[in-house]
Structure 1
Amino acid sequence: MYDKNNRRFLYPFINCTNCGPRYTIIKNIPYDRINTSMKKFKMCEKCYREYTNPMDRRYHAQPISCYDCGPKLSVKCKVESEKYRTIEFNEEIEKIEFIAEKIKEG
Structure 2
Amino acid sequence: MLYTGDGVVNELERAKLEYLQASIVVTSAKKIGLPELLLRNMHDFAQDLERLVEWLCQEFPTSGSLRKSMVECFRGVNNAKGSSIVEKIPYEFEFQYLLPM
TM bin (shorter chain): under 0.3
Give me the TM-score of the superposition, normalised by structure 2.
Answer: 0.27
Give me the TM-score of the superposition, normalised by structure 1.
Answer: 0.27
Q: Which has the higher helix share?
A: 2
Greater relative contact order structure (CA < 8 Å, 6+ sep): 2
**Which structure has the greater CA radius of gyration?**
1
